[in-house]
């Protein structure tokens, strides 16, 4: 069963461009080898961190959105945890947004009913 995931990763800013591109390709290849598929890859580039991490004030950000099994997602997290250039990473499972029609059908109407017997 394929779930939808989003992973945000911050790499050390002093990592070379080739090392960053190679790491992203390695993660993508691992995802595809695990039976997953990349939906979107968004590279934000170098940005200032909210607080210093390992005495670094900047980091290279990228965000991946993908479909995969839970095992493939765990493997991506493991790869990021083993790489010394990764400052932080976080993976979340995205929930499918219910359609407006499904929301209306699922929620019973809670509108107050007029009382019988007339007002005085």
Question: pLDDT tens track of the chain, all 120 residues?
Answer: 789 999 999 999 999 999 999 999 999 999 999 999 999 999 999 999 999 999 999 999 999 999 999 999 999 999 999 999 999 999 999 987 665 555 566 655 555 566 666 555
CATH superfamily of 3-89: Ribosomal protein S6/Translation elongation factor EF1B (3.30.70.60)
Q: For residues 1 and 67, what is the distance between their CA atoms, to the nearest angstrom? A: 10
User: What are the tokens at 65?
Assistant: 């959105």
Q: For residues 93 and 72, what is the distance between their CA atoms, to the nearest angstrom? A: 13
pTM listed for this prediction: 0.76
């Amino acid at each position: 069963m394929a779930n939808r995931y989003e992973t945000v990763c911050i790499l050390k800013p002093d990592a070379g461009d080739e090392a960053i591109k190679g790491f992203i390709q390695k993660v993508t290849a691992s995802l595809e080898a695990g039976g997953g598929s990349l939906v979107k890859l968004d590279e934000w580039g170098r940005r200032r961190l909210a607080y210093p991490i390992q005495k670094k004030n900047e980091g290279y950000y990228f965000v991946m959105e993908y479909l995969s099994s839970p095992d493939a997602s765990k493997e991506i997290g493991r790869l990021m945890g083993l790489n010394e250039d990764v400052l932080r990473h976080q993976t979340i499972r995205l929930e499918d947004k219910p359609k407006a029609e499904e929301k209306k059908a699922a929620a019973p109407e809670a509108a107050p009913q007029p009382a019988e017997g007339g007002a005085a």
